Structure 1
Amino acid sequence: MPRQRRLDLPGVPQHVIQRGNNRQPCFLRVQDYRCYLSQLGEAALAQGCRVHAYVLMTNHVHLLMTPEVTGAVARTMQALGRRYVSYFNATYRRSGTLWEGRYKSCLIDSERYLLTCYRYIELSPVRAAMVEAPSDYAWSSYRANAEGVTDRLVHPHDEYAQLGATVDERCAAYRALFLEAIGEDRMSEIRAYVQQQRALGSSRFQDAIEAELRRVATIRPRGWPPGKARATGIGRE
Protein backbone atom coordinates (compact mmCIF):
# COMPACT_ATOMS: atom_id res chain seq x y z
CA MET A 1 0.00 0.00 0.00
CA PRO A 2 1.52 3.36 -1.01
CA ARG A 3 2.42 5.85 1.67
CA GLN A 4 -0.06 8.63 2.30
CA ARG A 5 1.32 11.93 1.07
CA ARG A 6 1.41 14.67 3.65
CA LEU A 7 -0.40 17.95 3.19
CA ASP A 8 2.27 20.58 2.62
CA LEU A 9 2.08 24.24 1.59
CA PRO A 10 4.65 27.04 1.88
CA GLY A 11 3.77 29.54 4.60
CA VAL A 12 1.29 27.24 6.36
CA PRO A 13 2.42 26.05 9.83
CA GLN A 14 2.73 22.35 10.56
CA HIS A 15 2.45 20.53 13.88
CA VAL A 16 4.98 17.69 13.76
CA ILE A 17 5.21 14.71 16.12
CA GLN A 18 7.94 12.08 16.05
CA ARG A 19 8.03 9.19 18.51
CA GLY A 20 10.73 6.80 19.61
CA ASN A 21 10.54 3.28 18.26
CA ASN A 22 8.31 1.18 20.55
CA ARG A 23 8.02 4.29 22.76
CA GLN A 24 11.64 3.86 23.82
CA PRO A 25 13.57 6.91 25.13
CA CYS A 26 15.21 9.14 22.54
CA PHE A 27 17.00 11.29 25.13
CA LEU A 28 18.97 9.84 28.01
CA ARG A 29 21.23 12.67 29.14
CA VAL A 30 21.36 16.46 29.02
CA GLN A 31 23.77 16.46 26.09
CA ASP A 32 21.25 14.48 24.03
CA TYR A 33 18.64 17.24 24.32
CA ARG A 34 21.24 19.87 23.53
CA CYS A 35 22.50 17.95 20.52
CA TYR A 36 18.98 17.49 19.13
CA LEU A 37 18.13 21.18 19.49
CA SER A 38 21.40 22.23 17.90
CA GLN A 39 20.91 19.89 14.97
CA LEU A 40 17.27 20.95 14.61
CA GLY A 41 18.33 24.59 14.39
CA GLU A 42 20.94 23.83 11.73
CA ALA A 43 18.60 21.67 9.66
CA ALA A 44 15.70 24.14 9.85
CA LEU A 45 17.94 27.02 8.79
CA ALA A 46 19.44 25.06 5.90
CA GLN A 47 16.07 23.85 4.61
CA GLY A 48 14.02 27.01 5.14
CA CYS A 49 11.83 26.26 8.16
CA ARG A 50 10.94 28.62 11.00
CA VAL A 51 10.45 26.90 14.36
CA HIS A 52 7.82 28.58 16.54
CA ALA A 53 7.38 26.11 19.40
CA TYR A 54 8.85 22.80 20.51
CA VAL A 55 9.06 20.33 23.34
CA LEU A 56 11.42 17.39 23.70
CA MET A 57 9.81 14.70 25.82
CA THR A 58 11.63 11.55 26.92
CA ASN A 59 10.38 9.41 24.05
CA HIS A 60 8.91 11.84 21.53
CA VAL A 61 9.06 15.40 20.24
CA HIS A 62 6.52 18.04 19.21
CA LEU A 63 7.48 20.80 16.79
CA LEU A 64 5.53 23.72 15.32
CA MET A 65 7.19 24.91 12.13
CA THR A 66 6.41 26.97 9.04
CA PRO A 67 8.13 25.99 5.79
CA GLU A 68 9.25 28.64 3.32
CA VAL A 69 8.97 26.20 0.41
CA THR A 70 7.20 22.92 -0.27
CA GLY A 71 9.06 19.97 1.19
CA ALA A 72 11.09 22.01 3.67
CA VAL A 73 9.63 20.29 6.73
CA ALA A 74 10.26 16.83 5.30
CA ARG A 75 13.83 17.69 4.38
CA THR A 76 14.42 19.20 7.83
CA MET A 77 13.14 16.07 9.56
CA GLN A 78 15.12 13.77 7.27
CA ALA A 79 18.37 15.64 7.84
CA LEU A 80 17.75 15.87 11.57
CA GLY A 81 16.83 12.20 11.77
CA ARG A 82 19.97 11.02 10.04
CA ARG A 83 22.29 13.19 12.11
CA TYR A 84 20.68 12.62 15.49
CA VAL A 85 20.35 8.85 15.06
CA SER A 86 24.03 8.69 14.07
CA TYR A 87 24.95 10.68 17.18
CA PHE A 88 22.71 8.61 19.46
CA ASN A 89 23.88 5.26 18.14
CA ALA A 90 27.54 6.23 18.36
CA THR A 91 27.13 7.67 21.86
CA TYR A 92 25.35 4.63 23.29
CA ARG A 93 27.04 1.99 21.14
CA ARG A 94 23.84 0.78 19.58
CA SER A 95 22.56 0.22 16.04
CA GLY A 96 19.28 0.26 14.21
CA THR A 97 16.35 2.61 14.15
CA LEU A 98 15.57 5.15 16.85
CA TRP A 99 12.31 6.63 15.56
CA GLU A 100 8.94 4.94 15.11
CA GLY A 101 8.61 5.10 11.32
CA ARG A 102 7.75 8.37 9.64
CA TYR A 103 6.91 11.48 11.60
CA LYS A 104 3.28 12.65 11.74
CA SER A 105 2.22 16.17 10.82
CA CYS A 106 -0.84 18.30 10.13
CA LEU A 107 -1.40 21.78 8.74
CA ILE A 108 -2.52 24.41 11.25
CA ASP A 109 -4.94 27.28 10.65
CA SER A 110 -3.00 30.31 11.90
CA GLU A 111 -6.04 32.44 12.68
CA ARG A 112 -7.98 29.86 14.70
CA TYR A 113 -5.63 27.22 16.05
CA LEU A 114 -2.02 28.34 16.02
CA LEU A 115 -1.73 29.73 19.54
CA THR A 116 -3.70 26.76 20.88
CA CYS A 117 -1.14 24.50 19.23
CA TYR A 118 1.66 26.51 20.88
CA ARG A 119 0.02 25.84 24.25
CA TYR A 120 -0.71 22.19 23.51
CA ILE A 121 2.96 21.60 22.74
CA GLU A 122 4.42 23.51 25.67
CA LEU A 123 1.96 21.99 28.16
CA SER A 124 3.01 18.43 27.28
CA PRO A 125 5.33 18.04 30.33
CA VAL A 126 2.53 19.26 32.62
CA ARG A 127 0.02 16.78 31.16
CA ALA A 128 2.61 14.04 31.65
CA ALA A 129 2.98 15.06 35.32
CA MET A 130 6.70 15.68 34.82
CA VAL A 131 6.46 19.26 36.13
CA GLU A 132 3.84 21.43 37.78
CA ALA A 133 4.23 24.39 35.40
CA PRO A 134 5.55 24.68 31.83
CA SER A 135 8.24 27.11 33.01
CA ASP A 136 9.74 24.29 35.09
CA TYR A 137 10.62 22.21 32.04
CA ALA A 138 14.00 22.93 30.46
CA TRP A 139 13.46 21.39 27.02
CA SER A 140 10.64 23.43 25.52
CA SER A 141 10.09 26.82 23.94
CA TYR A 142 7.88 28.06 26.79
CA ARG A 143 10.45 30.28 28.44
CA ALA A 144 11.28 31.91 25.12
CA ASN A 145 7.64 32.57 24.26
CA ALA A 146 6.33 33.35 27.75
CA GLU A 147 9.31 34.91 29.51
CA GLY A 148 11.40 36.38 26.71
CA VAL A 149 14.39 34.13 27.38
CA THR A 150 16.74 34.12 24.38
CA ASP A 151 16.39 30.97 22.29
CA ARG A 152 17.98 31.18 18.85
CA LEU A 153 15.85 28.26 17.67
CA VAL A 154 12.53 30.08 18.20
CA HIS A 155 11.14 32.39 15.50
CA PRO A 156 7.83 33.99 16.53
CA HIS A 157 4.93 33.51 14.14
CA ASP A 158 3.00 36.60 13.05
CA GLU A 159 0.03 35.55 15.22
CA TYR A 160 2.32 35.50 18.25
CA ALA A 161 3.86 38.85 17.27
CA GLN A 162 0.40 40.42 17.26
CA LEU A 163 -0.02 39.71 20.98
CA GLY A 164 1.75 42.96 21.84
CA ALA A 165 3.92 45.81 20.63
CA THR A 166 6.89 44.94 22.87
CA VAL A 167 8.53 41.76 24.13
CA ASP A 168 7.11 42.32 27.61
CA GLU A 169 3.60 42.84 26.26
CA ARG A 170 3.78 39.75 24.08
CA CYS A 171 5.10 37.61 26.91
CA ALA A 172 2.44 38.83 29.32
CA ALA A 173 -0.34 38.20 26.82
CA TYR A 174 1.08 34.78 26.03
CA ARG A 175 1.27 33.79 29.70
CA ALA A 176 -2.34 34.87 30.10
CA LEU A 177 -3.37 32.29 27.49
CA PHE A 178 -2.17 29.55 29.83
CA LEU A 179 -4.60 30.60 32.56
CA GLU A 180 -7.34 28.84 30.60
CA ALA A 181 -7.09 25.08 30.15
CA ILE A 182 -7.33 23.51 26.73
CA GLY A 183 -10.58 21.55 26.62
CA GLU A 184 -10.54 17.80 26.19
CA ASP A 185 -12.48 18.08 22.94
CA ARG A 186 -9.90 20.47 21.52
CA MET A 187 -7.00 18.26 22.60
CA SER A 188 -8.67 15.21 21.04
CA GLU A 189 -9.15 17.20 17.86
CA ILE A 190 -5.48 18.18 17.72
CA ARG A 191 -4.41 14.57 18.23
CA ALA A 192 -6.81 13.25 15.60
CA TYR A 193 -5.70 15.71 12.95
CA VAL A 194 -2.02 14.94 13.51
CA GLN A 195 -2.67 11.19 13.48
CA GLN A 196 -4.60 11.39 10.20
CA GLN A 197 -2.27 14.11 8.84
CA ARG A 198 -5.01 16.51 7.77
CA ALA A 199 -5.58 20.27 8.07
CA LEU A 200 -6.73 21.53 11.47
CA GLY A 201 -8.80 24.66 11.18
CA SER A 202 -12.04 26.30 10.15
CA SER A 203 -14.11 24.99 7.26
CA ARG A 204 -12.92 27.93 5.16
CA PHE A 205 -9.29 27.02 5.85
CA GLN A 206 -9.93 23.37 5.03
CA ASP A 207 -11.77 24.27 1.83
CA ALA A 208 -8.83 26.43 0.75
CA ILE A 209 -6.37 23.60 1.43
CA GLU A 210 -8.48 21.13 -0.52
CA ALA A 211 -8.84 23.53 -3.45
CA GLU A 212 -5.09 24.18 -3.52
CA LEU A 213 -3.86 20.61 -3.09
CA ARG A 214 -6.87 18.64 -4.36
CA ARG A 215 -6.57 16.40 -1.33
CA VAL A 216 -8.93 15.63 1.57
CA ALA A 217 -8.20 17.99 4.47
CA THR A 218 -10.71 16.76 7.06
CA ILE A 219 -10.46 13.80 9.42
CA ARG A 220 -12.60 10.74 8.90
CA PRO A 221 -13.72 8.25 11.54
CA ARG A 222 -12.41 4.74 10.95
CA GLY A 223 -14.57 2.66 8.69
CA TRP A 224 -16.54 5.56 7.26
CA PRO A 225 -16.89 5.67 3.47
CA PRO A 226 -15.20 8.46 1.47
CA GLY A 227 -16.99 11.77 1.70
CA LYS A 228 -18.96 10.87 4.83
CA ALA A 229 -16.99 13.16 7.16
CA ARG A 230 -17.39 16.15 4.86
CA ALA A 231 -21.06 15.52 4.31
CA THR A 232 -21.79 15.44 8.04
CA GLY A 233 -19.36 18.14 9.09
CA ILE A 234 -17.29 15.83 11.30
CA GLY A 235 -14.05 17.52 12.29
CA ARG A 236 -15.08 20.94 11.03
CA GLU A 237 -16.13 24.28 12.44
Structure 2
Amino acid sequence: MARLPRLTLAGYPHHILQRGNNQQAIFSSVADYQTLLALLEENARKFGVALHAYVLMGNHFHLLATPASADGLPQMMQAVGRRYVRYFNDSQGRTGTLWEGRYRSTLIEAERYLLPCMAYIDLSPVRAGVAGDPKDYPWSSHGHYAGLRADRLVTPHPLFWALGNTPFGREVAYAELVREGISSAQHDALTRSVLGGWVLGGEGFVADVQKRTERRVQKNRAGRPPGRPVPR
Protein backbone atom coordinates (compact mmCIF):
# COMPACT_ATOMS: atom_id res chain seq x y z
CA MET A 1 0.00 0.00 0.00
CA ALA A 2 1.32 3.43 -0.91
CA ARG A 3 2.44 5.61 1.97
CA LEU A 4 -0.09 8.28 2.85
CA PRO A 5 1.25 11.77 2.04
CA ARG A 6 1.81 13.89 5.11
CA LEU A 7 -0.77 16.63 5.57
CA THR A 8 0.30 20.08 6.76
CA LEU A 9 -1.95 23.14 6.72
CA ALA A 10 -1.12 26.65 7.89
CA GLY A 11 -2.88 27.91 10.99
CA TYR A 12 -3.89 24.52 12.39
CA PRO A 13 -2.31 22.85 15.44
CA HIS A 14 -0.36 19.69 14.57
CA HIS A 15 0.59 16.83 16.87
CA ILE A 16 4.02 15.55 15.83
CA LEU A 17 5.91 12.39 16.78
CA GLN A 18 9.50 11.48 15.90
CA ARG A 19 10.90 8.14 17.06
CA GLY A 20 14.34 6.58 17.16
CA ASN A 21 15.09 3.80 14.70
CA ASN A 22 14.23 0.38 16.18
CA GLN A 23 13.29 2.18 19.42
CA GLN A 24 16.93 3.09 19.99
CA ALA A 25 17.88 5.92 22.33
CA ILE A 26 18.17 9.34 20.71
CA PHE A 27 19.67 11.00 23.80
CA SER A 28 22.67 9.91 25.85
CA SER A 29 23.45 13.00 27.91
CA VAL A 30 22.04 16.27 29.21
CA ALA A 31 23.88 18.03 26.38
CA ASP A 32 21.89 15.99 23.85
CA TYR A 33 18.54 17.15 25.24
CA GLN A 34 19.80 20.73 25.36
CA THR A 35 21.05 20.55 21.77
CA LEU A 36 17.72 19.32 20.40
CA LEU A 37 15.83 22.02 22.31
CA ALA A 38 18.19 24.68 20.95
CA LEU A 39 17.69 23.39 17.40
CA LEU A 40 13.92 23.42 17.85
CA GLU A 41 13.97 26.99 19.15
CA GLU A 42 16.22 28.23 16.34
CA ASN A 43 14.27 26.59 13.54
CA ALA A 44 10.79 27.21 14.93
CA ARG A 45 11.58 30.92 14.77
CA LYS A 46 13.28 30.64 11.38
CA PHE A 47 10.38 28.83 9.71
CA GLY A 48 7.48 30.52 11.48
CA VAL A 49 6.26 27.65 13.67
CA ALA A 50 4.60 28.35 17.03
CA LEU A 51 5.60 25.50 19.34
CA HIS A 52 2.91 25.10 22.01
CA ALA A 53 4.12 21.98 23.86
CA TYR A 54 6.86 19.36 23.76
CA VAL A 55 8.34 16.40 25.57
CA LEU A 56 11.68 14.74 24.87
CA MET A 57 11.73 11.08 25.89
CA GLY A 58 14.58 8.60 25.74
CA ASN A 59 13.78 7.23 22.28
CA HIS A 60 11.22 9.68 20.86
CA PHE A 61 9.75 13.14 21.19
CA HIS A 62 6.34 14.77 20.82
CA LEU A 63 5.57 18.30 19.67
CA LEU A 64 2.37 20.33 19.43
CA ALA A 65 2.80 23.19 16.98
CA THR A 66 1.02 25.57 14.63
CA PRO A 67 2.85 26.57 11.43
CA ALA A 68 2.24 29.96 9.82
CA SER A 69 2.72 28.40 6.37
CA ALA A 70 2.22 24.95 4.89
CA ASP A 71 5.99 24.62 4.34
CA GLY A 72 7.05 25.82 7.77
CA LEU A 73 6.60 22.61 9.75
CA PRO A 74 8.29 20.21 7.29
CA GLN A 75 11.14 22.69 6.82
CA MET A 76 11.62 22.96 10.57
CA MET A 77 11.53 19.20 11.11
CA GLN A 78 13.92 18.55 8.22
CA ALA A 79 16.43 21.10 9.49
CA VAL A 80 16.22 19.91 13.10
CA GLY A 81 16.38 16.24 12.12
CA ARG A 82 19.40 16.54 9.87
CA ARG A 83 21.43 18.76 12.17
CA TYR A 84 20.67 16.69 15.26
CA VAL A 85 21.67 13.45 13.54
CA ARG A 86 24.99 15.00 12.50
CA TYR A 87 25.56 16.24 16.05
CA PHE A 88 24.57 12.94 17.67
CA ASN A 89 26.60 10.78 15.29
CA ASP A 90 29.68 12.96 15.75
CA SER A 91 29.37 12.95 19.54
CA GLN A 92 28.81 9.18 19.68
CA GLY A 93 31.32 8.22 17.01
CA ARG A 94 28.62 6.49 15.01
CA THR A 95 27.22 6.59 11.48
CA GLY A 96 23.91 5.85 9.84
CA THR A 97 20.32 6.64 10.53
CA LEU A 98 18.93 7.71 13.88
CA TRP A 99 15.25 8.22 13.09
CA GLU A 100 12.55 5.68 12.39
CA GLY A 101 11.86 7.06 8.94
CA ARG A 102 10.00 10.33 8.55
CA TYR A 103 8.27 12.05 11.42
CA ARG A 104 4.56 11.42 11.96
CA SER A 105 2.01 14.19 12.34
CA THR A 106 -1.66 15.00 12.27
CA LEU A 107 -3.95 18.02 12.45
CA ILE A 108 -6.14 18.31 15.53
CA GLU A 109 -9.23 20.37 16.23
CA ALA A 110 -8.03 22.94 18.76
CA GLU A 111 -11.31 23.40 20.65
CA ARG A 112 -11.68 19.65 21.28
CA TYR A 113 -8.17 18.33 21.47
CA LEU A 114 -5.51 20.99 22.01
CA LEU A 115 -5.57 21.04 25.82
CA PRO A 116 -5.99 17.24 26.04
CA CYS A 117 -3.04 16.89 23.66
CA MET A 118 -0.93 19.13 25.89
CA ALA A 119 -1.85 16.97 28.89
CA TYR A 120 -1.10 13.82 26.84
CA ILE A 121 2.36 15.21 26.07
CA ASP A 122 3.01 16.30 29.67
CA LEU A 123 1.98 12.91 31.04
CA SER A 124 4.28 10.91 28.74
CA PRO A 125 7.05 10.62 31.37
CA VAL A 126 4.52 9.45 33.95
CA ARG A 127 3.10 6.80 31.61
CA ALA A 128 6.65 5.64 30.83
CA GLY A 129 7.52 5.40 34.53
CA VAL A 130 10.44 7.85 34.37
CA ALA A 131 8.73 10.50 36.54
CA GLY A 132 6.10 10.37 39.26
CA ASP A 133 4.76 13.79 38.37
CA PRO A 134 5.07 15.89 35.19
CA LYS A 135 6.65 18.72 37.18
CA ASP A 136 9.56 16.42 38.08
CA TYR A 137 10.52 15.84 34.44
CA PRO A 138 12.87 18.53 33.09
CA TRP A 139 12.56 17.86 29.34
CA SER A 140 9.01 18.99 28.67
CA SER A 141 7.06 22.22 28.42
CA HIS A 142 5.03 21.39 31.55
CA GLY A 143 7.32 23.43 33.77
CA HIS A 144 6.61 26.55 31.72
CA TYR A 145 2.85 26.19 31.96
CA ALA A 146 2.96 25.26 35.64
CA GLY A 147 4.93 28.43 36.45
CA LEU A 148 8.11 26.58 37.41
CA ARG A 149 10.33 28.17 34.76
CA ALA A 150 10.23 30.41 31.70
CA ASP A 151 10.80 28.55 28.43
CA ARG A 152 11.66 30.66 25.38
CA LEU A 153 10.81 27.77 23.08
CA VAL A 154 7.13 27.81 24.05
CA THR A 155 4.41 29.91 22.40
CA PRO A 156 1.15 29.45 24.33
CA HIS A 157 -1.98 28.86 22.26
CA PRO A 158 -4.95 31.24 22.77
CA LEU A 159 -6.86 28.39 24.43
CA PHE A 160 -4.24 28.34 27.19
CA TRP A 161 -4.61 32.10 27.72
CA ALA A 162 -8.36 31.55 28.08
CA LEU A 163 -7.82 29.35 31.14
CA GLY A 164 -7.56 32.40 33.45
CA ASN A 165 -7.25 36.15 33.70
CA THR A 166 -3.87 36.14 35.45
CA PRO A 167 -0.67 34.10 35.05
CA PHE A 168 -1.32 32.45 38.41
CA GLY A 169 -4.89 31.63 37.46
CA ARG A 170 -3.80 30.03 34.20
CA GLU A 171 -1.04 28.06 35.91
CA VAL A 172 -3.40 26.69 38.55
CA ALA A 173 -6.08 25.82 36.00
CA TYR A 174 -3.61 24.08 33.72
CA ALA A 175 -1.94 22.15 36.53
CA GLU A 176 -5.37 20.93 37.61
CA LEU A 177 -6.20 19.92 34.04
CA VAL A 178 -3.04 17.81 33.85
CA ARG A 179 -3.61 16.39 37.33
CA GLU A 180 -7.05 15.19 36.27
CA GLY A 181 -5.52 13.60 33.19
CA ILE A 182 -7.29 12.57 30.02
CA SER A 183 -9.73 9.77 29.35
CA SER A 184 -8.67 6.49 27.79
CA ALA A 185 -10.76 7.42 24.74
CA GLN A 186 -8.88 10.72 24.34
CA HIS A 187 -5.54 8.96 24.82
CA ASP A 188 -6.35 6.31 22.22
CA ALA A 189 -7.66 8.89 19.74
CA LEU A 190 -4.54 11.05 20.08
CA THR A 191 -2.27 8.04 19.69
CA ARG A 192 -4.08 6.56 16.69
CA SER A 193 -4.32 9.87 14.89
CA VAL A 194 -0.65 10.78 15.15
CA LEU A 195 0.48 7.27 14.17
CA GLY A 196 -1.92 7.06 11.25
CA GLY A 197 -1.80 10.68 10.09
CA TRP A 198 -5.59 11.01 10.26
CA VAL A 199 -7.18 14.35 11.14
CA LEU A 200 -8.59 14.38 14.67
CA GLY A 201 -11.76 16.32 15.38
CA GLY A 202 -15.52 16.44 15.03
CA GLU A 203 -17.33 15.73 11.79
CA GLY A 204 -17.61 19.40 10.86
CA PHE A 205 -13.91 20.01 11.44
CA VAL A 206 -12.88 16.95 9.46
CA ALA A 207 -15.17 17.95 6.60
CA ASP A 208 -13.75 21.47 6.56
CA VAL A 209 -10.18 20.17 6.42
CA GLN A 210 -11.10 17.75 3.64
CA LYS A 211 -12.24 20.70 1.51
CA ARG A 212 -8.73 22.15 1.76
CA THR A 213 -6.82 19.14 0.46
CA GLU A 214 -7.14 16.33 -2.09
CA ARG A 215 -5.45 13.98 0.34
CA ARG A 216 -7.84 11.72 2.30
CA VAL A 217 -7.98 12.98 5.89
CA GLN A 218 -9.89 10.20 7.67
CA LYS A 219 -9.55 6.44 7.61
CA ASN A 220 -12.27 4.68 5.68
CA ARG A 221 -14.84 3.06 7.87
CA ALA A 222 -15.16 -0.68 7.68
CA GLY A 223 -17.96 -1.96 5.49
CA ARG A 224 -19.34 -1.37 2.01
CA PRO A 225 -18.66 2.05 0.46
CA PRO A 226 -21.73 4.30 0.64
CA GLY A 227 -24.00 4.58 -2.37
CA ARG A 228 -23.67 1.00 -3.58
CA PRO A 229 -26.65 -1.33 -3.29
CA VAL A 230 -26.27 -4.38 -1.12
CA PRO A 231 -26.53 -7.59 -3.18
CA ARG A 232 -29.57 -9.72 -2.41
TM-score range, shorter-chain basis? Answer: over 0.9
Count of equivalent residues: 226
Residues 85-108 of structure 1: per-residue CA shift (max 9 Å, x gap): 000000011000000000000001
Q: CA deviation at 1:131?
A: 0.8
Q: What CA distance in whole angstroms lies between the structure 2 residues aligned with 1:29 and 1:60?
A: 15
1:73-130 CA distance string (max 9 Å, x none) = 1110000011100000000110000000000000011111100000000100000111
Q: Could you say what secondary structure the match of 1:213 adopts?
A: coil
Aligned to 2:229: none
Letter of the structure 2 residue corresponding to residue 156 of structure 1: P
Residue 28 of structure 1: how far off its partner (Å): 0.5
Aligned partner of 1:60 in structure 2 is 60
Do 2:13 and 2:108's aligned partners in 1 also have CA atoms closer than 8 Å? Answer: yes
Query: 1:26 offset after TM fit, Å?
Result: 0.1
Residues 192, 219 of structure 1: 8 Å contact kept: no
CA distance, structure 2, for counterparts of residue 115 and residue 48 of structure 1: 22
Moved over 3 A (4+): 224-228
User: In structure 2, the residue corresponding to 1:15 is in which secondary structure?
Assistant: strand
Query: How do 1:30-49 and structure 2 match up within 5 A?
Result: 30-49=30-49
Map of 1:69 onto structure 2: 69
The offset of 1:179, in angstroms, is 2.9
- Does residue 13 (structure 1) correspond to residue 13 (structure 2)? The answer is yes
Q: Is the 8 A contact 2:5 2:215 kept in 1?
A: no
The answer to which of 158-167 and 29-38 deviates more is 158-167
**1:218: how far off?**
2.0
Scaled by the length of structure 1, what TM-score is found?
0.91
In structure 2, distance between residues paired with 1:165 and 1:119: 20
Name the residue aligned to 1:178. 178
Residue aligned with 2:62, SS: strand
The 1-side partners of 2:108 and 2:48 are apart by 18
> Partner of 1:147: helix, strand, or coil?
coil
Q: How big is the shift at 1:148?
A: 5.2
Give the deviation of 1:59 after TM superposition. 0.2
Asked if the contact 1:148/1:168 (under 8 Å) is kept, the reply is no
The amino acid across from 1:171 in the alignment is E
TM-score by structure 2 length? 0.93
Contact map agreement 1:105 1:195 (CA 8 A) in 2: yes
Matched-pair contact (CA < 8 Å) for 1:193–1:219: no
AA aligned to 1:175 is A
The residue number in structure 1 matching 2:212 is: 212
Distance 2:148 2:108 in 1: 24
- Measure the CA separation in 2 of the matches of 1:45 and 1:153: 9
Q: How does 1:216-227 map to 2 (within 5 A)?
A: 216-220=216-220, 224=222
In structure 1, the gaps of 5 or more residues are 229-237
The alpha carbon displacement at 1:182 in A equals 1.4
Q: Is 1:98 matched up with 2:81?
A: no
Larger Rg: 2
Q: Does 1:168 align with 2:168?
A: yes
- Cα RMSD between the aligned structures? 1.5
**Partner residue, 2:145:** 145
Query: Partner of 1:110 in structure 2?
Result: 110
Query: Aligned in 2, Cα 1:152/1:4: closer, same or farther, shift over 3 Å?
Result: same
Q: Which whole-Å CA distance do the structure 1 matches of 2:122 and 2:219 have between them?
A: 24
Deviation at 1:199, TM superposition (A): 1.0
Q: Secondary structure at the match of 1:69?
A: coil
User: What displacement does 1:215 show?
Assistant: 3.0
